[in-house]
Amino acid sequence: MKKEVKILGLSYSQSQSGSYVVVLSEKKGKRKLPVVIKPSDAQQIALKIEGVKSARPLTHDLFKTITDCYGIDVQEVYIHTVLEGIFYTKLVTHNGIEDMEIECTAGDGIALAMVYQCPIFADKEVLDSSGIFVNDDGSQMSQDEIDTEDVEEEVVSTKKAKRVVSVEDLEHMMNDAIANEEYEIAAEIRDRINKLKEEK
């Protein structure tokens, strides 16, 4: 059995230097699933979240162009297994005749879900073994909150929504891009940071 999840947050990992953590949240449930991903995947996901369009196609955009040319559609991303902290993920694709499953890293899968605008699912066993009960702000959820029935529809808060990617985390990504000599990506992130600072 699988459950649909959404991206709740993306941040620099303080415990695993050089990595990032994307937090997935059940759409109809209360568990959060923290997944460690590579800086390059974090950059791609952050650019999509921030709506930044690159002057040249990035790797995941190139993948979509190729699959579009061959009539292959990515229909969903499925995190099906977790072993020793590694999340095993597959792309569920369709070529007009049959469904095909392609194994990938969790970071690539999540980034491609952003490119294809397709749903992300996590197996119930993955959520049972690796999911945690915390509020959206990161505070520990009380037993009463855990025990209440799951809300079937998402409630839109009247408060200003918390940013999925903070300016500080974007700055980490920009520095990573510079260190890897990915100057175009660094410039795009820098421009987005400057725009966010102007909006404050």
Q: Tell me the per-residue pLDDT of 15-40, one tens digit each, with 9 for 90 and over.
A: 766 789 999 999 988 899 999 999 88
What is the CATH number for 98? 3.10.690.10
Answer whether residue 157 is part of any domain: no
For the ranges 72-81, 94-103, 112-121, 134-143, the lowest mean pLDDT is seen at 134-143
Domain that holds residue 29: 2-138+163-199
- The answer to whether residues 121 and 79 touch, using CB atoms and an 8 Å cutoff, is yes
Answer whether residue 143 is part of any domain: no
Answer whether residue 45 is part of any domain: yes
Answer whether residue 147 is part of any domain: no
Query: What would you measure as the largest C-alpha separation in the chain, in angstroms?
Result: 51
Answer whether residue 172 is part of any domain: yes
In terms of C-beta density within 10 A (0-12 exposed, 13-18 middle, 19 or more buried), how is residue 189 classed? buried
pTM metric for this prediction: 0.79
Give the number of domains in the chain.
1
Residue 145 has what pLDDT?
A: 56
Give the span between the Cα atoms of 176 and 14, in whole angstroms: 15
Answer whether residue 154 is part of any domain: no
Give the span between the Cα atoms of 134 and 40, in whole angstroms: 27
Answer whether residue 158 is part of any domain: no
* CA 118 from centroid of its chain's CA atoms: 12
- The answer to whether residues 181 and 173 touch, using CB atoms and an 8 Å cutoff, is no
Q: Which one, of 179, 174, 148, lies nearest residue 52 by Cα?
A: 174
